[in-house]
A and B are shown apart, each in its own frame.
Chain A
Amino acid sequence: MKLNDAVLGAVFCALGLWIVLYSAGLPKPRHLSYGPGLFPTLMGAGLIVCGGIQTIAGLLRWRSAPIVERPAWLGHRRLILNLAVIPAACLFYYVAADRLGFLFTGLTILVVMLVVGGVAPLRAAIVGLVMIVVVTMIFASILHVPLPWGVLAPISGRFIW
C-alpha cells in the first residue's frame, strides 16, 4: 500500500491544517495570551511544512512513481485474508469482549486465525482452547488482570485465585 510521496505529503499537510484550525478555537487560560492551542498549532505547522516539502519532492519525481503502488499481496486471496484478520480480530474483541467475556472472545479469535492460517478446524479448536485456557489462567486467575468475564461473570469467583 505505497502512496506516491506527493499524495502522502498532501495527506499530512491536510492533517496539519486541520489541527491548526481546530486549535484556533480552543480557549485561553488566565494571565496568558496563549494556551492549550499553542502546542497543537506548532505541531500542525510542523506537519504542514514537512508535508509540503514531501509533496514538492514527490511532484518533482511524479512520473517515476505511480499514485498508488499495487502491492503484491493484493493478488492472493489467502494473503489478503491473513492481513485483514489481524485488525478485524482486535475490533471483534472491542465489540464483543464485554458481553461474551475474554475466554470466549479470545477463543473465537484464536480459532479463526488458526483456520485462516491453514490449520485443520478440529486441530485449531483444540490448540485454541488450550491456549486461551492457559492465558486466562495466568492473567485473570493468577495475575488478577480485570479481564471481562462476560457470560461467565456469575461464576467467575471460582476462577479468580
Chain B
Amino acid sequence: MVISTVLSNLLDPFLIFVVFAAALYGLVIGAIPGLTALMASALLVPFIIFMDPIPAVAAIVTASAMAIFAGDIPSALLRMPGTPASAAYTEDAYGLVMRGKAASSLGAGVMASAVGGLFSALVLSLAAPSLASVALSFSSVEYFWLGLMGLSCATLVTSDSLVKGLLSLFFGLALATVGMDPTSGIPRFTFGSVDLLGGFGLIPVLIGFFAISELMRNACIPTETRQKLPPVGPILRVSLRGLWSHRVGVTKGSLIGTVVGILPGAGSDIAAWISYAVARRGSKRGRRMDDDGALERITVASAANNASLGGAYIPATVFGIPGDAISAIVISVMFIKGINPGPTLFMNQPATIYTIFAIFFLANIAMVPLGILMVRAFGAVLRLPPVYITPLILLFCIVGAFSVENTIIAVAMAAIFGVLGWFLAANGIPLAPAILGLILGPLIEQTFMTTMLKAQGDYSVFFDRQIGSWLAYVTIAVWVVVLGSRVIGALRERRAARPGAS
C-alpha cells in the first residue's frame, strides 16, 4: 500500500524534473571553489517555499547530497576543499591527481560517496524510529568526549611535524573563542567591535585558508613553471574496480559515517575526520603512504562524509533535532511544507516520508553518472589559461564568503585568513588541524561548560553516565595511543639519525 503510493509519487514528472535540476544545481555550486554545500542549501529556501511539499523537500535533500560530494572535486583538482569535510583528505586527493591518478582519485570519491549515501539511506528507511531514540540518550557529557576524540584526528592528518600540527590545532581552537561566549554571553576578544562579536565564521575562514591562500601560492610561481593538471582519463571502469578492491574501506566509512551522522551535533565534518583517522591508523593499508594507501583513506572518508547525511536525517525526521546547519535547513523546509518531523510522521504520513527517503536513495544513485559528468566538465574548464581562472575563483570566493554570513566583513575575513593561511603554509604549518579546531572548539567548550553548570562543578559526572564513561575510556585510550606512538616514533627517528650526525 505504502510502497505503491511511494512508487506513484516518484513517477511524477515534475518531481523528476525538480530532482534533476536540484542535482545539477548542487553539483555546480559544490564544485565551484568558494561556494559550499551550506550555501547551496540556504539559497534554495526562498524557491522551494512555493513548491508542493514533496518536490520542495526532494530538492533540498538532493542538492545537499550532491553538493557535499562535489566538494571533493575542487579539493582534488585545485587543492581547495569545497566543504569543511573534504579538508581532511585534500592532500591525499590532490597528490594523486598530480601523480596522474586523477581518475582513480575522483572515481574513488564519487563511488564511495554514492555507496556511503546508499548505505545510510538503507539504514534510514529500515530503522529510523528505533535508531533515533538511541541518539536521544546522548547528553552534553557524551558530546564532550566525542569532541575530544575528534580532536585527536588533528595529530593524524599532519604527517611531518607533530608540534606544527598541534600549533595549528591550538590556533584554530583559539580562533573559535572569538566573539560572544555561547555559555555566558560575555564578548571575548572583540574590543567592542560588532563585526567581531559574531566570531570567525567557519566558511569564510575555510575559504581564506584553502581557496585564497592557494590562489596566492600559485600567484608567486611563474605560469610557465606551474605544474599542469594531468588529464583525467576514463573514470567509470577504474573506479568500479577500485571500489571492489577497497570494499572493506567503503563499508567501514559507511558505518562510521552513519553512526556519527545519527548523533545530532556531530555532522558530516566530524564524520569525515574520524573515519579518515580510523583509516589512517586502523589498517595496514590506510597507513601506507603510497597511492593505494591514499585511495583507501579517500574511500573511507568520502563514504563517511555522505553516509553521515543520511544518518543525520534520522534524528531530524523522527524528533526534529538537526545534526548540522544543513539538516537544520532541511527540517525547517519540512516544517514550512507541513511535513512536521516527529514520530507521528511515520504513522500519519508514511508515504510522504518514505518518498523522501526514496529520493535520497535515487539521488545517491544518480550521483555516479552526474558526478562523473561534472568532473569532466570541471576538468575541461580548468584547462583554460589560469589568467582567466584566478580572478573568477576569487570572485566566487567573495560571493561565497558573503552569502553564507550576509555581512561584508566576511569578505575581509576571508582575505585576512587567506594571507595568514598562505604565510602559515609557507612555513610548514598544516592548515587542516586549524579547521578541525574551529569545528570542534565550540562543541567541546559548550559541552564542558554546560556539564559543569549542570553538575555544579563536580567533575565525576564525566564518568558517571553509562555511555559517557565508555566514551571517556575510549577517548583517553585513543589519546594515549596516538600521542605515545607519535612521540616514540620521533624518538626512534632521532636515535636512528644520531650516529650519522655525530
Q: Is B346 an interface residue (CB 8 A)?
A: no
CA distance in complex: A58, B273 (Å): 31
Q: Is A67 an interface residue (CB 8 A)?
A: no
CA distance in complex: A71, B189 (Å): 33
Say which residue of A39, A47, A119 sits within 8 Å of B445 (CB atoms): A39
Cβ distance A67 to chain B, nearest Cβ, rounded Å: 13
Q: Is B20 an interface residue (CB 8 A)?
A: no
B174 touches A147 (CB 8 A): no
Q: Is B403 an interface residue (CB 8 A)?
A: yes
Cβ distance B345 to chain A, nearest Cβ, rounded Å: 30
Q: Is B423 an interface residue (CB 8 A)?
A: yes
Chain A positions 1 through 42: 1 when the CB is less than 8 Å from some CB of chain B, otherwise 0:
111000010001001100100110011010111011011100
Q: Is A131 an interface residue (CB 8 A)?
A: yes
A106 touches B177 (CB 8 A): no
Which chain B residue shows the least CB distance to A23? B188
CA distance in complex: A121, B352 (Å): 57
Contacts of A80 in B (CB 8 A): 220
CA distance in complex: A96, B177 (Å): 30
A131 touches B392 (CB 8 A): yes
Knowing A76-B222, A83-B220, A147-B399, the reply to whether A113 touches B391 (Cβ < 8 A) is yes
A50 touches B170 (CB 8 A): yes
Knowing A19-B174, A43-B174, A90-B411, the reply to whether A8 touches B427 (Cβ < 8 A) is yes
Q: Is B46 an interface residue (CB 8 A)?
A: yes
Q: Is B183 an interface residue (CB 8 A)?
A: yes
CA distance in complex: A135, B396 (Å): 9
Say which residue of A15, A31, A35, A106 sits within 8 Å of B186 (CB atoms): A35
Residues of B110-153 at the interface with A, using a CB-CB cut-off of 8 Å, are: none
Which chain B residue shows the least CB distance to A145? B403
Contacts of A32 in B (CB 8 A): 452-453, 457
How many chain B residues touch A (CB < 8 A): the figure is 62
Q: Is B236 an interface residue (CB 8 A)?
A: no
Which chain A residue shows the least CB distance to B444? A39
Chain B interface, DSSP helix/strand/loop, else mixed: helix
B415 touches A113 (CB 8 A): no
Say which residue of B222, B395, B457 sits within 8 Å of A135 (CB atoms): B395
Q: Which of B169, B396, B449 gathers the greatest number of chain A CB atoms within 10 Å?
A: B449
B173 touches A43 (CB 8 A): yes
Contacts of B427 in A (CB 8 A): 1-3, 8
B388 touches A127 (CB 8 A): yes
Cβ distance A122 to chain B, nearest Cβ, rounded Å: 15
Q: Is B485 an interface residue (CB 8 A)?
A: no
Contacts of B171 in A (CB 8 A): 12, 15, 47
CA distance in complex: A51, B166 (Å): 9
Which chain B residue shows the least CB distance to A28? B184
CA distance in complex: A111, B93 (Å): 33
A143 touches B43 (CB 8 A): yes
CA distance in complex: A72, B222 (Å): 10
Residues of A115-159 at the interface with B, using a CB-CB cut-off of 8 Å, are: 117-119, 127-128, 131-132, 135, 139, 143-148
Knowing A43-B174, A79-B222, A139-B403, the reply to whether A113 touches B163 (Cβ < 8 A) is no
Cβ distance A13 to chain B, nearest Cβ, rounded Å: 10
Cβ distance A100 to chain B, nearest Cβ, rounded Å: 12
Which chain A residue shows the least CB distance to B437? A43
Cβ distance A64 to chain B, nearest Cβ, rounded Å: 12
Which chain B residue shows the least CB distance to A131? B392
A86 touches B219 (CB 8 A): yes
Contacts of A90 in B (CB 8 A): 212, 394, 397-398, 411-412, 414-415, 418
A147 touches B402 (CB 8 A): yes
Q: Is B3 an interface residue (CB 8 A)?
A: no
Contacts of A27 in B (CB 8 A): 184, 186
Chain B positions 145 through 186: 1 when the CB is less than 8 Å from some CB of chain A, otherwise 0:
000000000000000000110110111011001000101101
Contacts of B43 in A (CB 8 A): 143-145
B403 touches A43 (CB 8 A): no
Say which residue of B174, B396, B408 sits within 8 Å of A44 (CB atoms): B174
Say which residue of A22, A114, A128 sits within 8 Å of B189 (CB atoms): A22
CA distance in complex: A89, B395 (Å): 9
Chain B positions 423 through 448: 1 when the CB is less than 8 Å from some CB of chain A, otherwise 0:
10011010000000000010011001
Q: Is B9 an interface residue (CB 8 A)?
A: no
Cβ distance A55 to chain B, nearest Cβ, rounded Å: 10
CA distance in complex: A119, B163 (Å): 44
B408 touches A97 (CB 8 A): yes
Q: Is B406 an interface residue (CB 8 A)?
A: yes
Residues of B448-482 at the interface with A, using a CB-CB cut-off of 8 Å, are: 448-449, 452-453, 456-457
Contacts of B220 in A (CB 8 A): 71-73, 79-80, 82-83
CA distance in complex: A109, B412 (Å): 15
Query: Would you list 23 pairs from A and B whose C-beta atoms are within 8 A, ordered by A residue?
Result: A19-B174, A19-B189, A29-B186, A33-B457, A35-B183, A35-B184, A35-B186, A36-B183, A36-B186, A43-B170, A43-B173, A46-B169, A50-B167, A50-B170, A79-B220, A90-B418, A93-B398, A94-B409, A98-B408, A114-B388, A117-B390, A135-B396, A145-B402
Residues on A facing B (Cβ under 8 Å): 1-3, 8, 12, 15-16, 19, 22-23, 26-27, 29, 31-33, 35-36, 38-40, 43-44, 46-47, 50-51, 53-54, 57, 71-73, 76, 79-80, 82-83, 85-87, 89-91, 93-94, 97-98, 106, 109-110, 113-114, 117-119, 127-128, 131-132, 135, 139, 143-148
Given A46-B173, A86-B418, 5 new contacts (CB under 8 A): A46-B170, A98-B408, A110-B391, A139-B399, A148-B408
